[in-house]
Structure 1
């Protein structure tokens, strides 16, 4: 477990300059800066740093941001969450880069009664008498529904599935199976592979033996490219589909020509400049891109950093209301912040318009998604 200062990461300088006693609102952020989730964890980290630059104070109160690396390990994510709550006395947790680690963090947040905004999908709320967690990303069921709608429009009927052998792979597969009842498609295979695997030849041979019209990928980041590379090597000529979890520069680089033409459901921020002027996300998404460029001196070309940014927008909006009734650093403020998050209404972000309510882990609808196609190494809006 490593505490990462932003200077060490060559990101935002100065966040840790103020001592803890002078910081009014303390946020604990966990991501995967190392390990097999780093290709998406690093963008998450860059997104939170851009968000901090975008809004450093709330109603005159300063914000202290602490960032920890979980090494893509759920056990480390658990330890980090406990450290942030028990030692750093954070008012809010935000994290992390993989679904298994996010589930682990959410359990700690619920146990210790600290609000948490998850930046990886959660299939369900932790088993707890009270709700302390919400999730920013579009749920896998909605991500896959949008893709299934596109498959149907494209005339695809028989679908092969290959995904991670973990919670994320389960979520995407469950979404695909749910689409069978409403769309004229049939999921023919359920092949899995580990995030650390270097070959999926055996799984792809089974997928192709089912003679699918299209293949749905339930992976993410660089490892999400492995099935596509193998499909191309085996001469597959059908369509390929995925989710926003594949919208990552490393995926595009590693996938190369094998990934060309894949269609994925993604947040509108991915194609911000291509959106109609009246789209809810266009202005805030372009603002996000500008502050990201200013913060890191590179453009953002992924969807993960935007989830962190939206988590910050949700936190800031809720904190403005919570500060009216309680002071940071207290149990009363954590409860007020939780209640404010759960009453968020029509808050526009770069990925979605957010509406949270008690009992629901997510707060997005179909406005949060568009279909994009990888063309010439770039994502293009495909309405």
Structure 2
């Protein structure tokens, strides 16, 4: 197992770091984030973590070029085209949202530029063919999260579930994966509703969910918009357990949801519940090191899974860049091709949110060591055993 302790000490002790460093940096990293718009709570914490990256990658001077897509897939594609065509970056990091990442597949594949996304859905990397061979992903897949969630449901007597999810590819992916694992564990889906990220009310959908009399409700959303269905469920008198996805693990979700989100159950990754993880969890040391450094810089309780995902991009890049540099130099298509190939060869690489083992068929590389169950208790995210 590769230790990231040296990386963490070096990366998070850096006090002076510019998002865009010297104009003639050797290695160019183009970064597209949702720093504004509905997904800003995700993009801002990703950007915070990126600001903690060292100024070199595998000893190579790096230039980080960060653009905001405003949570707009069209703007994300425009940003990525600019980063590729005008800035001539060697790798893309981001986007934060699934629709943007899917739309970005065309420009990254056409230019042969590897992309390390920060989304939850596996749809950008599965199946590994065509344009998707240029995409990688930091966050655990929806399937792995649905697996741990439905296992917890089955262990706690849940037989029927009502679903309400985003009316986009994030909601689609979660609905499909949840159905697959729910069927495996004999959990019946009794109602399905959808909502938009910018909706002001979901009362109609919630009343239909409650009318189905489910044992539990699953809200498949991300960031603060996911609080709306839960608050409405509680206000309308639903008394059963409410599950959310790994997309809600931000302090803003707890602040916005207030007492209505207390008791929420959700699958997550090590960073979010680092302090309450079992001592023998393989990522606990790296997760705690990152959480401590991040909260020293940005304040107690400020860390998110999305920050952890962005932090993990750096060791993924350092690991792959070190080998790619033996084949070609940055700024060339040969280097981009070599970097894509080397990103497929991470082996037992510990990052804050898990342990990575990639291959030509697996561009995520995370196993169940990156999937745990969490809950909101006392206004905090905590680890819970299955």
TM-score, normalising length: structure 2: 0.91
How far apart, in 2, do the equivalents of 1:49 and 1:298 lie? Answer: 18
SS of equivalent to 2:347:
coil
Name the CA shift for 1:299/1:65 in 2 (closer, same or farther; >3 Å): farther
Residues 113-128 of structure 1: matches in 2 within 5 Å?
A: 113-120=112-119, 121-125=121-125, 128=130
Inter-partner Cα distance in structure 2 for 1:248 and 1:372: 13
User: What per-residue deviation string (whole Å, max 9, x for no partner) do you get for residues 215-262 of structure 1?
Assistant: 011011111000110001111000111221011111111111111111
What is the CA deviation profile of residues 24-63 of structure 1, one whole-angstrom value per residue up to 9, with x for unaligned ones? 111001101111111211111112112x1xx332343111
Task: Determine the C-alpha separation between the residues in 1 that align with 2:117 and 2:375.
Answer: 27
- Name 1:189's counterpart in structure 2: 191
- Equivalent residues of 2:320, 2:346 under 8 A apart: yes
Of 294, 299, 307, the residue aligned with 2:309 is 307
Q: Which residue of 1 aligns with 2:243?
A: 241
Structure 2 distance, partners of 1:142, 1:80, is: 30
Please tell me whether the aligned partners of residues 143 and 266 of structure 1 are also in contact (alpha carbons under 8 angstroms). yes
Task: Give 3-state SS (helix, strand or coil) of 1:97's partner.
Answer: coil
Contact 2:19-2:51 within 8 A present in 1 as well: no
Structure 2: distance between partners of 1:350 and 1:125 = 21
Identify if the C-alpha distance between structure 1 residues 373 and 299 changes in structure 2 by more than 3 Å, giving closer, same or farther: closer
2:42 equivalent to 1:40: yes
Q: Which runs of 5+ in 2 are unaligned?
A: 1-14
Equivalent in the alignment of 1:266: 268
1:111/1:359 Cα in 2 relative to 1: closer, same or farther (>3 Å)? farther
TM-score by length of 1: 0.92
Structure 2 residue 114 is matched with structure 1 residue 110: no
What residue in structure 2 maps to residue 364 of structure 1? 366
Mapping of 1:1-383 within 5 angstroms? 13-19=17-23, 21=24, 23-50=25-52, 52=53, 55-120=54-119, 121-125=121-125, 128=130, 131-296=133-298, 299-383=301-385
Structure 2 CA distance for aligned equivalents of residues 91 and 352 of structure 1: 25
Alpha-carbon distance between aligned partners in 2 of 1:264 and 1:145, rounded to the nearest angstrom: 12
Quote how far apart the aligned CAs of 1:359 are: 3.1
For the residue of structure 2 that corresponds to 1:189, the secondary structure is strand
Deviations 1:346-370 (A, max 9, x none): 1111112111111334211111111
What RMSD, in angstroms, separates the aligned Cα atoms of the two structures?
1.7
Give, in angstroms, the shift of residue 329 of structure 1.
Answer: 0.9
After superposition, the Cα gap between the structure-2 partners of 1:281 and 1:43, relative to the gap in structure 1 and judged at 3 Å, is same
Structure 2 CA distance for aligned equivalents of residues 29 and 259 of structure 1: 32
- Secondary structure in 2 aligned to 1:83? helix
After superposition, what is the alpha-carbon deviation per residue over 1:55-106, rounded to whole angstroms, capped at 9, x for unaligned?
3323431111010000100000001111001111101000012111111223
Deviation at 1:297, TM superposition (A): 5.2
- Give secondary structure in 2 for the equivalent of 1:181: helix
For 2:37 and 2:16, how far apart are their aligned partners in 1? 22
Aligned residues: 368
SS at match of 2:162: strand
Q: Relative to 1, partners in 2 of residues 1:231 and 1:15: Cα closer, same or farther, differing over 3 Å?
A: closer
Call closer, same or farther: CA 1:110–1:47 in 2, change over 3 Å: same
